[in-house]
Each structure stands twice: as C-alpha cells, then as structure tokens.
Amino acid sequence: MFKTGDKAFSAKIDSVPNKPVREAHPDLMDQLNSLMLRIEDARQKRLSLLAAERAAALSAFASRFVRLYEQQNSSAAGSILTTSS
C-alpha cells in the first residue's frame, strides 16, 4: 500500500512484488492483487470500528463522570442550604 500522495492507502496492484517475481509466478498475481484489494477495503472498516470503540469508551466515561459530578454538586449545594437556613 502507498503511504503518502494521491494514492495514499491504496493497493499497489501489479507493482508488488518486483517484476522478476511477478514474471516467475504470474499465476499468483491475481490472488495477490485480490488480497491487496481486500486489505485496502478493510482499512476504512477497521478505522470506523476503532472510532466507534473510542466513542463508546468516551461516552461511558462521560456518563459516569457527569453522574458523580452532579451528585457531588447537589450534596454540596444541599449542605450549604441547610447550614445557612
């Protein structure tokens, strides 16, 4: 896969492996090209899954944090109200 440029993260169809190996094993090139395309297609799914997992973890943390924060603030406000009344 290319790492930079216009073809970033795209399969190097018919350019990997080098020319002598491609010519020595033409029967394997279709299989290799197919594999490279499947890997290319799976990249976006992998990145999407990773983003979803991170979002779920952040949401779980935020939910717990906000609940504890609100409990702490409501108990602090309650103690101020009972002390000053």
60-75 pLDDT tens trace: 999 999 999 999 988 8
The Cα–Cα gap between 33 and 23 comes to: 14
pTM comes to 0.57
Number of domains in the chain: 1
Question: What's the rounded mean pLDDT across residues 70-81?
Answer: 76
Q: 46 lies in a domain?
A: yes
Question: What's the rounded mean pLDDT across residues 48-55?
Answer: 98
Other Cβ atoms closer than 10 A to 37: 13
Of the chain, the percentage scoring pLDDT greater than 70 comes to 82
Which residues constitute the domain of residue 43?
Answer: 19-84
Confidence of residue 4 (pLDDT cuts 50, 70, 90): low
Q: 58 lies in a domain?
A: yes
Helix (H) or strand (E) run with residue 29 in it: helix 26-84
Q: 79 lies in a domain?
A: yes
In the prediction, which pLDDT does 68 show? Answer: 94
